Structure 1
């Protein structure tokens, strides 16, 4: 299989919010212990816009400075395409784990995603797309990935381009035009915590995959929690999903702290 620059591709890993991800052999010059990395390649007719998004994503990765975010190792241009290399987590994601994932370990992954989100928030950045696909499983917990939709927490900035966002894990207020915020990412963390414990979203089975129909279905519904959640988890998830943002946990760090207690209660060893 072909590669880019001195990265030899092993296999494609699929599309992200923009660009294509590949599993690749790690060049020795990176000086890392891992043999493999993920390389995101941005090319094609929309590459100018994608390049701007990629540089913004890389900047947000760097300024957050959190070990709970996926590590970025390298970036460059080659043959008209832009690429960057990042940490490969072979255990998969919360949505598609490659290992048996007990509830405690799944909650620990959400806990670490909350820590990463807090690091972003402290630098004035909203992730905007926290969902099970973007919470990766690690030996020591989890990592938050894909900052392709992240943006500065600036007044007046609203959500655009709903095509690839995880709608059922998105605060409904965002779909109604509210700006992304700490509180909207906290909503997403609550929905992911529900998924971690039940394998289901808070809207049940959503039949359509067409974005506008999904938005209509979600806005006409109310989140419903599974009845068999542990009490501490039900309390935290309910708080995260509160319509009144002042009733939600004030920070993602608070979500992480409470999720850590839930994970410990479930016997998580990470």
Structure 2
């Protein structure tokens, strides 16, 4: 049984992608079908179709691996500048997708018209907020911003991050101390990355001179968060004063710690499933 897709441009800026199979009965979303679908969606976005409704109403079943692959692929579409909504009618498919996180960034509709109407309204609202009258211009601006995030170095307060590959993100923590006062923005940045689907992180702590228990607790939470989604987190630490805290607390055995970024990236790409340098 092969995956079948058809495309329909309902409005000038919105494309409906309908998914089915060439066999009898409903389609089964397994990892092979999900990979084919995600590859096709990325190609559609690269061709300039930035607003998509993905109609999965012909899909009756989604297994765990297929759901996970689909979510990861949809997040890549989002990072490339695309916006999408899903149409799902099968409760089994909804249940399978709901178990895969982070999934809350993708809205699910019961029918194509409601998905199209919601996306159209979003485009108009975003354009109005930015003072852009033309919806197509607003879409182009949004795509430009997201591609800048994906390809360049993005600052967040004293910190910065860049996507080294499709899967691996380097986060550079600024400042010389990671304690109760400086932890919140770092925690928020790491949580935001996980929500975006960036689950393989190299955390560069070479600028730090000191880290206390609040900072260590935040790192443990970040490690648990990415591992819950089959991701990975490795650290780059250079100062003896910081390494000493990891040794004293026994966390030197919990984290993979490197003194430069290069070996950390290689380790993450080599040892974490789905991560590629």
TM-score range, shorter chain: under 0.3
Normalising by structure 1, report the TM-score: 0.25
Larger Rg: 2
- Larger RCO, structures 1/2 (Cα 8 Å, 6+ apart): 1
Normalising by structure 2, report the TM-score: 0.25
- Structure 1 or 2: more strand by fraction: 2
